[in-house]
Amino acid sequence: MFTMRMHIAVLALFSAVACSSPQVSVGRPPAPLVGTDWKLFQLHDLPTINGPYYQAPATFRIDSNTVTGFTGCNRMNGKVSQSGNKIHFGPLAATKMACLDVNVGRVEAGFLNALNGAERQKIIGDTLILSTHSGDLARFVVTQPR
C-alpha cells in the first residue's frame, strides 16, 4: 500500500512539473534563433505563462539583424547582433501605450530589461535562455511547437 502511494505521489509530482515547464524537446536539435517566434516563459524566477502575471504573452522574433516583438502591452523593435552564444539587443524602441494592469507593466519592464541586459543565449530544444555572466535573465519557448 505504501509503495503504491509513493508511486502515485511521484507520478503526480512529475505531471505537475511537466505541465508547468516549457517544452525542451529532448532528442531534437535546437530551434533556430533567427526566424523563430519566441514567447516569454519566465523572468528570473517569475513564471509568466499561466501564472498570476499572465495576460497577453510577451513575444519576439529575430530576422537578420532586427528584433520585433510585443511586450504584453506595447510593440517593440530594434537591432540585434549575435555570434555563437553571444547576443546583444539594442537600441530597442517601444510604443508608449499605457499598461493599465500593474502586473503587465512589470512583465513588460522585466522583458525589456532582459533583452537589453542579455549577453548570452542558449537554445535547448524549443527553449531559449537569455543570460549574463551572473545568471539567467529570461526563458522563452517557441510559440508553435515543431
Beta bridge partners, 42, equal: 47, 139
Per DSSP, 58 falls in state P
pTM of the full predicted structure? Answer: 0.77
Do the bridges between strand 59-63 and strand 66-70 make them parallel or antiparallel, or are there none, so unpaired? antiparallel
Residue-wise pLDDT tens digits, 35-52: 999 999 998 856 555 555
Question: What is the identity of the amino acid at 17?
Answer: V
Q: Indicate the domain borders of the chain.
A: 2-142
Span 128-144, average pLDDT: 94
Do the bridges between strand 75-83 and strand 66-70 make them parallel or antiparallel, or are there none, so unpaired? antiparallel
pLDDT of residue 13: 35
pLDDT of residue 132: 96
Q: How confident is the model at residue 105 (pLDDT cuts 50, 70, 90)?
A: confident
**CATH number of the domain at 2-142, out of 2.40.128.270, 2.40.50.140, 3.40.190.10, 3.40.720.10?**
2.40.128.270
